[in-house]
Amino acid sequence: MSVSIDEFQKGNIVDGGSKIVLDFLRSHRDQAFSQEEIMKGVNPNPAPDSFIHFLAAMAPLPLHGLVERREISTAKGSELYYRAI
């Protein structure tokens, strides 16, 4: 039996990678993190393909209103930072 898009949007994200990233950000609600900081926060020894896994895990979180993303100017240049809502 199919469900409407509205009903689907109410569902929980079950993807393991997304949950790991969301749990990390929620455990540090008073801070925002760069992509690199999140990758190292969830896995201190990231593999070469960790960035691809990060992008896949992060993609649904802002769409579901669980994570906010902002572009911040840093000494390294412009970087994306994320925080749990």
Give the range of the structural domain holding residue 34, as residue numbers without chain letter: 15-84
Tell whether 1 is covered by a domain. no
Is 65 part of any domain?
yes
b (16+ CB within 10 A) / e for 18-56: bebbbebbeeeeeebbebebbbeebeeeeeeebeebbee
For residue 6, being part of any structural domain is answered with no
pLDDT tens track for 14-36:
578 898 999 999 999 999 999 98
Whether residue 6 is predicted with pLDDT greater than 90 in this model: the reply is no
| Residue 77 belongs to some domain of the structure | yes
Number of structural domains (the chain) is 1
Task: Express each pLDDT in 36-56 by its tens digit.
Answer: 899 999 988 888 888 888 888
Q: What CATH code is carried by the domain that includes residue 64? A: 1.10.10.10
Structure token pair of residue 4: 């409407």
Residue 2, pLDDT above cutoff 60: yes
Give the C-alpha separation, 59 to 43, whole Å.
18
Q: Which residue has the higher pLDDT, 44 or 10?
A: 44
**pLDDT of 11 above 80:** no
* Residue 53 domain-assigned (yes or no): yes
